[in-house]
Chain A
Amino acid sequence: MPVPDSPYRGSLRRRFRLLPVAPSILLLLLFMLAPVAWSFYASFTDVALSGKAALNPQWIGLDNYARMLTDSVFPLSAWLTVVFVAVSAILGQNALGLLIALLMTKSGGATESFVGTAVIASWVLPEIVAAFAAYAYFSQDGTLNQLLGLLGVHGANWLYAFPMAAVILANVWRGTAFSMLVYRAALAQVPRDISEAALMDGARGWQRLAFITLPIIRGSIATNLMLVTLQTLAVFTLIWVMTAGGPSNASTTLPVLAYQEAFKLGDIGYGTAIASVLILIGMVFGTVYVRLLRRANQ
């Protein structure tokens, strides 16, 4: 009997090649997927940090999700999360990162390395340090108001009067370096001869950008958007240190709300339900970007 050839053998060999990575996949499942699965499970119970529900959590079905609809803070919080992601990640980090990368390819030399260092400095700081730095900058008697004072301007109490604007700016400051690095690498891949040919054809700067450069780095744009979106969705420390979600919930994004419910109020069930919604939002964004990416690669 003839042995069924290559397709089977090939796939078997390919499967064997997976063997060395199997342990890491198992660990990934154990440490990443298991907590997510537990969190989903907990969101259908009333498990709490203290009280009777800590001892005997009850299965309450969709009650936690139904509660979100009547919760006075949740809709606000979901909206603030969308604003935070749209303005600080998609517009801020992504667009600013691209702009800086483009300008750096133009400038070169000392300017390039100076700008590069300045931008990356905020990125290499651990999140907690960056958060305290941002707090020190925006707080009532912080750096910003002292600088304004030199100009004779009496600055506002930014964290109190404009909490969302402050955390958005802080997140842009902190995360732009990542986008910049991604775009620097992508722009370096754009073949010089195509740009030059376009130049010969009389294309202006913005035309070359819109019709040549951007379509070529489309894949990198989608990847970058996905990464910065997911990172920004999960931002907690920055907001917690700067405003703790206040005043009066004016900067409470979903991670902050989930933390407050789960750990400040001890309501783990409701907290994990909010976290589950956050995961779903992340998955929706992720799917959209993967679609874009696939189209870009076709």
Chain B
Amino acid sequence: MRWVWFHKLGSPKYFYFWSKPLALPLFFLGCLCLVVGLVWGLAFAPADYQQGNSFRIIYIHVPVAMLAQSCYFALGVAGFVYLVWQMKIAPIFIKSMAPIGAVMALIALVSGAIWGKPTWGTWWIWDARLTSVLVLFLLYMGIIALQNALDDLVLANKATAVVSVVGLINLPIIKYSVVWWNTLHQGATFTLMEKPAMPAAMWIPLLICVVGLYCFVASLVLWRMQSEIMQREHRSSWVKQEVMYNNGF
């Protein structure tokens, strides 16, 4: 197998032109899936026999919580790629992804609190899942703070990559430490191998929401990366040409 395509993606210029036509279709696909999934889930899916209509927040909570974890995994992989292969695109990805991940973790926390009030009777408890998502949010904020504090670009690249990798190693430890410490949250909604425990009319819209949010976030990341590439490479001639072309010169 040839890896040329993969190495090419490490170059900002190639990545910019490769990703440019991808972002908009992904954005529309994501929006479409989210609208379909949310309307289906919120208005047409059957109510839960125990939780009634309050369970419907699952159509926001679960996709967002999945994204919050996936984003951190992606950050860790990007950090590893940067530290090992010094690919220029990896720190750009980390910088673009961290705020999105932070927002996802925050929405997961807030929607979980709103869900917890009618079902558990409390906004917040020191439960395993809740605590580990809180830690995840704090890790994101730490990376963002570090990125903003360091003016030197090379140092900022290295620093965020190091923290991402250390976080990747530590995240399972944090997760299992709080799981053994305290647990109330229900188990995973989706697992790869097993059929979901709820009826199809409930989980199909949820799956559509999850896919939609993945596409949505991917398009946002691509856009943020494109503008970050433009900023970092503003001295190169291809960026000048691109800006001229976009402005109709």
Q: Do A and B bind each other?
A: no
